[in-house]
Amino acid sequence: MKHCLFALTATLLLSSVISARAEKVGLIHVNGTINPATASYISRGIDKATAENAQCIILQLDTPGGLLDSTKDIVQSFYRSGVPVVVYVAPTGANATSAGCFITLASDVAAMSPNTSIGAAHPVAIGGDAEKIDDTMKQKLTNFTVSYIETIAQKRGRNVEWAKSAVRDSANITAEKALATNVIEIIAKDLPDLLKQLDGRTVKERKLKTAGVEVFEIPMNLRERFFQMIWRPEVLMILMLIAVYGIIGEVSNPGGIIPGVVGVVALILALYMSAALPVNIAGIALMVLAVGLFIAEAFTPTSGVLTGGGVISLFFGLFLLFDRADPLFSLSLKFIIPATVTTAAFFIFIVTAGLRAQSLKVKSGGEIMIGKTAPALTAITAESGKVFVEGEYWNAVSETPIAAGQSIEIVGREGLTLKVKPKESRA
């Protein structure tokens, strides 16, 4: 009997140990702006943690903000998550600003590292020209954002009044004050400390077992890393310039193929990104004007007047390409000035040369004989005649009869027959 009890106890202990070791916690890292690639990554991470039956998923966050539509997608993925979602603003010095504030408030458990901050909840609206939004529309957007963050705070039982002030007044607080005012639940110095404090909490009717569990990190896949990398104003600017270089290069030098293909691919990527970034229509119009001025200079040389206008137009087009009221999506002069100089050089030295080369006279083939003169070998009529040009005998016809030995001028060619006319004698 004792042996049976001992065996049963050992089995239960072993089962308990195995069960404890089998517990997992998912971990994803979000650093940088909130955009469609971020939303896709977080949604996939939650699905992965759910499939692994993880105790919870921890989103370690450090962001200056991002796009409202992407933020909404992330919040919705939190709501439908099959596992508890913990947002951890870390490491020390990190921020959950703008869109990051929404994301933190929408989590099942909100945690922050010491010396971090949260607030200033002003996500960027999708696309469009921000400068054309009148005061009424701005107020409507503000009211919508306030109501949206209010519903999030109410759903999670957090400080509603502070959440609304984060939008209306750009309120920003430290981790310590956030804990004291019921904005977050935990301050943890590091990930092990966070897991220790999470252990035993009941979230989504589940008592978390996170002490000493295995933490498996879910990295971004190649597609997500690529789009996360390019989702920057500087990259959009470069793509637009490449599109201009490639397409105009193909037009000025037909048959190159590669410049045209590269330009079209860059244009498609730029259009895809501009649908989400706050692009200013005035900036794009000035860039188009700059390209037109550069091309016009190539066909109608004006001693650099049009080129100078193109350079100025391009500079201000890049300067106004994004809403400069939001530093998150604005171009620095350290990008604008080199881009302007490079583009100006491209059009002045490459495109102009290519376009002018197309207007040069033909230097090979039968066409080079047009305009040349020679004596008629035989009488030339509208039906027949012979001339000797460039070391070759040619059939010749003329609407005006020409006597043998008379000088002729070649005015055209049809196959192996030259069209000629009597050469005008000059006093």
Cα–Cα distance between 191 and 210 in angstroms, integer? 11
Chain segment 358-391, per-residue pLDDT in tens? 555 555 455 667 878 888 888 888 888 998 887 7
Residue 329 is encoded by which pair of tokens? 């999506």
Q: Say what the pLDDT of residue 131 is.
A: 47
Looking at domain 2-221, what is its CATH homologous superfamily? 2-enoyl-CoA Hydratase; Chain A, domain 1 (3.90.226.10)
Cα–Cα distance between 63 and 66 in angstroms, integer? 8
From the list 224, 308, 235, the residue with the least C-alpha distance to 31 is: 224
Cα–Cα distance between 23 and 208 in angstroms, integer? 10
The 3-class SS string of 264-299 reads HHHHHHHHHHHCCCCECHHHHHHHHHHHHHHHHHHH
Chain segment 170-192, per-residue pLDDT in tens? 899 999 999 999 999 999 999 99
pTM: 0.66
Residue range 260-273: mean pLDDT, rounded: 82
Which of these ranges, 205-214, 227-236, 311-320, has the smallest mean pLDDT? 227-236
Residue range 215-238: mean pLDDT, rounded: 85
From the list 107, 109, 123, the residue with the least C-alpha distance to 33 is: 123
**Other Cβ atoms within 10 Å of 343 Cβ, number:** 22
Q: Say what the pLDDT of residue 91 is.
A: 94
Q: Where are the beta strands (DSSP E) in 192-335?
A: 202-203, 206-207, 214-217
For residue 63, what pLDDT band results from cuts at 50, 70 and 90? very high
Chain-centroid distance, C-alpha 293: 26
Which of these ranges, 55-64, 242-251, 271-280, has the smallest mean pLDDT? 271-280
* pLDDT at position 344 over 70: yes
Q: What is the CATH code of the structural domain delimited by 366-422?
A: 2.40.50.140
Cα–Cα distance between 43 and 224 in angstroms, integer? 12
Which of 282 and 60 is assigned the larger pLDDT? 60
Q: Say what the pLDDT of residue 69 is.
A: 87
Inter-residue contact 321 to 237 (CB < 8 Å): yes
